[in-house]
Structure 1
Amino acid sequence: MRVPRIFTRQPLSAGAELTLESSPSQHLARVLRMVEGDALRLFDGSGAEYCASIVSADKRQVTVAVLESEPGLAESPLRIHLGIGISRGERMDWVVQKATELGVAEISPLYTGRTAVRLRGEREERKRQHWEQVIVSACEQCGRSIIPDVHEPMALSQWLQHAAGERRFVLHHRATAAPAGAQLPVSISLLVGPEGGLDEAEIGAAETAGFESLALGPRVLRTETAPLAALAILQARWGDMGSLE
């Protein structure tokens, strides 16, 4: 059986013994049916990961012995902050999950003029926590040992004021440019709209804030496809994904 990777919010150190949180405990004991002596790998978001062994397990909690540490998977040299218009239902979850697999460093859910989803108060925080768990699960699966940040939902105008990427791109199908430039950037802010895209005023505001308009090709891509295609292209050009050239 493949050795599972499990995230814990508890700081890890070789030689420690700890009881995992409820969710990973139940996953290991009830879903994977792991027992005393079984091996797993743990990471706490610090960049390292640890070999571990189950000391005891029941349906409610699993206690593990933390063994030696190893360097975690290296992060992409290209730090990408994705600003994404909030989409309905599972579309947003899909983007958050796949963006994590593609190496994004930060995700900011955005309210735009065409955003159909409006979250308020506790519902907004619950949704952010849900996206955070989607990110954790994606990291467990893809091998990342540092958890990308998912910020509180905010207005597009607010995000534009704080987007600090060395290169900044706004993605829309009316643009004509592809990412260019010989200089290797270390950080990128990427703006993608919700269903229906960004309106003309929002594109203009992004361009005024220093964003370059970016197009991926002749086809109009759905809101859950466009950011992933853009991330893959940016990682292949300036990050850590292999090029076919």
Structure 2
Amino acid sequence: MHTFYAPDLNGPTFTLPEDESKHAVRVLRLGVGDAVELLDGRGGRYAAAVADANPKRCQLRIGHHETVAPRSYFTHVAVAPTKNLDRMEWFVEKAVEVGVERITFLRSARSERRELKLERLEKIAISAMKQSGQAWLPQLDEMTDYAAFVADATPETTFIAHLEEGERTALTQVAAAGAGCCVLIGPEGDFTPAEIALALSRGIRPVTLGESRLRTETAALAAAFTVHLVR
């Protein structure tokens, strides 16, 4: 069954945007009476049927719906985006498929990318939500200065993955406790010693994702997957 995103669903019918209408009618060949599914990104899952197969304004008639409860734990990955945006797009797609509630993009001292436009990443997140059958669309945050993020973080549920020497706990251990987990992932050059010290001074604990040295986007996905796996 084909799935469409309907964030502003209100009433017994819903009209797809023009680009989605064209795709539904001209590409998917949907006609009157054909069944589809709608997701509002907030847990709502709706059964619907095509009422008017207009390629510019395809109208759907809403039927049965259900509300999917959010997960009992909250996964938040805060990552310094790579210079190559394709790698961040890959991370967002896979993280949504695995299951993540929030992604924050950090501007750290060694960040190769200082600015980021969310429009493309939001579209990728929506597509991944539909493809994977998720009912909740993760929150994507604009670029945030590292120091400001750390200052507002909740130390009990925030962890920093870095490559500096020192004692670190496996993420699998700390993620198994509590109802939420936020993991900080640095840029390719890692967090600076000063940034690590700032996090530790705030009570944020250091964690390890394993023995391998991972690329930024791989580490971010490994963090999301690890939390999802142990919960």
TM-score (norm 1): 0.85
Residues of 1 paired with 2:174 and 2:159: CA distance? 13
Equivalent residue number for residue 139 of structure 2: 149
Deviates more, 1:172-181 or 1:194-203: 172-181
Q: Tell me if structure 1 keeps the 8 A contact 2:157–2:181.
A: yes
Equivalent residue number for residue 7 of structure 2: 9
Equivalent residue number for residue 212 of structure 1: 205
Q: CA deviation at 1:134?
A: 1.4
Percent of paired sites with the same residue? 30
SS at match of 2:92: helix
Q: Tell me if structure 1 keeps the 8 A contact 2:162–2:207.
A: yes
Equivalent residue number for residue 130 of structure 2: 140
- Counterparts in 2 of 1:31 and 1:165: CA distance versus 1, 3 Å: farther
Q: CA deviation at 1:66?
A: 0.5
**Amino acid corresponding to residue 8 of structure 2 in structure 1:** Q
- What is the aligned counterpart of 2:113 among 110, 113, 117? 117
- What is the aligned counterpart of 1:227 among 220, 225, 230? 220
Q: Unpaired runs of 5+ in structure 1?
A: 240-245
Deviates more, 1:135-144 or 1:193-202: 193-202
- CA displacement, residues 179-229 of structure 1 (integer Å, 9 cap, x when unaligned): 325972111111001222222211111212222111122210111111111
- Counterparts in 2 of 1:183 and 1:66: CA distance versus 1, 3 Å: closer
Residues of 1 paired with 2:156 and 2:136: CA distance? 22
- CA displacement, residues 35-82 of structure 1 (integer Å, 9 cap, x when unaligned): 22211101212312110001122332311101111233x433210221
Equivalent residue number for residue 66 of structure 2: 70
TM-score (norm 2): 0.89
SS at match of 1:225: helix
Residues of 2 paired with 1:7 and 1:181: CA distance? 35
SS at match of 1:227: helix
- What is the aligned counterpart of 1:103 among 99, 102, 105? 99
- Counterparts in 2 of 1:23 and 1:216: CA distance versus 1, 3 Å: same
Q: Unpaired runs of 5+ in structure 2?
A: none
**Amino acid corresponding to residue 116 of structure 1 in structure 2:** E
Residues of 1 paired with 2:198 and 2:146: CA distance? 9
Q: CA RMSD in A?
A: 2.0
| Correspondences of 1:13-24 after superposition (within 5 Å) | 13=11, 16-24=12-20
Residues of 2 paired with 1:41 and 1:182: CA distance? 34
